[in-house]
Chain A
């Protein structure tokens, strides 16, 4: 199977131009982009992404402002590169699930990822997503039972997010048996790629991920690099990734 690798960037962070350019540059290597909408209480995120979220909020970033740049990115990258919005449940619920999905459709978003909606609460979101042609990403974790993995695999669209560790973003990736076993089960039942995320920071982490999963997601490392070292370093790192994973 072809690999399906993704990157995470915080929407409009560190500024709108840098965000758009990084997205376009990153998608020369990556197959999909997750775009974070800043939220005041990002409980699934570690310091780097939480701080990015806070900084964005302080600068007045709103979901609508991010959607406008997603629209722009959509016109700058080929259609087989996928765009996912990643945000907390309150954004979707508060705006109205219908209205939110419509905003996704009109800005060219392909899928949605909500880290504080577990599978048991997902139907109210996934049904509306599906009615609008938006993919709904489910999660598996080291804690998931076989039945839970099968259920998530059966309902996931876009891709299946397998969380490498018990924890939040920005930690150290885990490749323990409990997640690797679950990935094996998921790949048996899932019609979409099974992608490993949380803590994937180095070329080596990525290579390890690809031994068992269909792809990996890099977030914290890229958000940090873009913020503290700038677009040139980010761009060099993307080249490095391209060289290391070219088939």
Chain B
């Protein structure tokens, strides 16, 4: 049986609780709340109801016929793009808002990159009548404008972050500063499998419904296990949830990071290909950093992947070889986005387009295989970038 993380929050060498002492008891409280949830049928039932009737689960597993034909594989898309709010992020925020309620917190904070996690957090805060503040890098506010408007419409305050690279990493820094100041009243809904323990575990568990449904659906539809499963990796939550039920199976798992403009420093966020172990945002994990241990600027056309670290469980999976990690460039992802739109009538998020782009670029590896791809979100939010990059 797979029992990671261990009781002190480690996935082998990775993970842990590297945050100011002030937050230690807040994280302990969160862990207790989650342990309570894990054995409380009422809370679990409430989450199941919300996932089904509010969020629209189960999401379909769709055999993409024209895509399959063109690339010579049998390709199934797990349609997280059809989940309420347009991405997998809601699976996690619905779970965490119940924990927040159980802990008696009145105020919610979150970070966001692509804005999908911000929207998913603003959504559940509205649903539960809680106050909500979302930190977002000013670069991301510019490139994901529709999501900024959605968060505001949902009643959240969106706070621009102008420190550092003004993207996801800096939004997390700012959210942590808020949390350490307001830890008694506030729950921080972290949006990926990153951060201090118990976040990597909680977020993975809430996202595992993606993999569990996919497993059932693929067996229903094909009578067997797939050969491959592919997902994009930013912090790594959609991938962790998608892979988790397959981790001890023969299915070949591939996480695709953002290859950006190329493999020079500052041009990509392929953390697991080029990073080195370090400590950022509360855990030991692979980080893109210079020889002095300073976190380096990174780049991706997709705001949700534009992050110089990755969840600690992915670092563990990389070292253990349980998952392979690859990357897909801005251009390949953009091409994949257009390709899927025209072959299947589905406009994928630029994040998800990285998983598709990897398959398309390496279709020879997948010939005659059955491949599941997690389509983590839809591309409406990316329309400005897509138009600019493709010149449509």
A: residues with CB less than 8 A from B are: 39-44, 46, 50, 54, 57, 62-63, 88-91, 93-95, 115-121, 139-145, 148, 152, 163, 165-168, 171
Contacts and interface: CB of A to CB of B under 8 A. Distances in A.
Given A41-B295, A121-B16, A90 B280 contact: yes
Contacts of A43: 19-20, 173, 176-177, 180, 281
Interface in B142-189: 163-164, 169, 173, 176-177, 180-184
A116 B20 contact: yes
Given A116-B279, A171-B181, 4 more contacts: A44-B20, A118-B21, A118-B23, A120-B8
- Residue in A44, A88, A163 with the greatest tally of chain B CB atoms within 10 Å: A44
A143 B24 contact: yes
B289 interface: yes
A118 B19 contact: yes
- What does DSSP make chain B's interface, helix, strand, loop or mixed? mixed
A120 B18 contact: no
A109 B284 CA distance: 26
B293 interface: yes
A167 B284 CA distance: 23
A141 B279 contact: no
Given A41-B173, A94-B276, A168-B180, A57 B26 contact: no
Contacts of A141: 20-22
A163 B21 CA distance: 9
Contacts of A165: 181
B287 interface: yes
Nearest to A89: B279
Interface of B: 8, 16-26, 163-164, 169, 173, 176-177, 180-184, 276-282, 284, 287, 289, 292-295
Nearest to B276: A94
B300 to A, nearest CB: 18
Contacts of A90: 278-280, 287, 289, 293, 295
A112 to B, nearest CB: 15
A142 to B, nearest CB: 8
B21 A139 contact: yes
A168 B21 contact: no
6 contacts: A39-B293, A91-B293, A118-B19, A143-B23, A148-B24, A168-B181
Contact of B181 (A39, A63, A167): A167
Contacts of B24: 118-120, 143, 148
- Residue in A57, A94, A141, A145 with the greatest tally of chain B CB atoms within 10 Å: A94
Given A90-B278, A95-B293, A166-B183, A41 B22 contact: no
A121 B282 CA distance: 11
A88 B180 CA distance: 16
Contacts of B164: 40-41, 54
Contacts of A143: 21-26, 183
B293 A94 contact: yes
B20 A118 contact: yes
Contact of A166 (B173, B181, B276, B279): B181
Nearest to B27: A118
Given A118-B24, A143-B25, A166-B183, A40 B18 contact: no
Contacts of B23: 118, 143
Contacts of A168: 177, 180-181
Contacts of A42: 173
Given A40-B295, A166-B181, A119 B279 contact: no
Contacts of A89: 18, 279
A150 to B, nearest CB: 14
Contacts of B280: 41, 90
A152 B25 CA distance: 14
A62 B277 CA distance: 19
Contacts of A139: 20-21
A39 B294 contact: yes
Contacts of A95: 293
B126 to A, nearest CB: 27
A50 B163 contact: yes
Contact of B18 (A50, A62, A117): A117
Nearest to B28: A120
Given A118-B17, A119-B24, A141-B21, A166 B169 contact: no
Contact of B20 (A54, A115, A142, A145): A115
- Residue in A116, A152, A165 with the greatest tally of chain B CB atoms within 10 Å: A116
Contacts of A118: 17-21, 23-24
B180 A40 contact: no
B106 to A, nearest CB: 16
B294 A119 contact: no
- Residue in B22, B25, B279 with the greatest tally of chain A CB atoms within 10 Å: B22
Contacts of B163: 50, 54
- Residue in A57, A143, A144, A163 with the greatest tally of chain B CB atoms within 10 Å: A143
Contacts of A62: 292
Contacts of B184: 166
Contacts of B276: 94
B181 A119 contact: no
B161 to A, nearest CB: 12
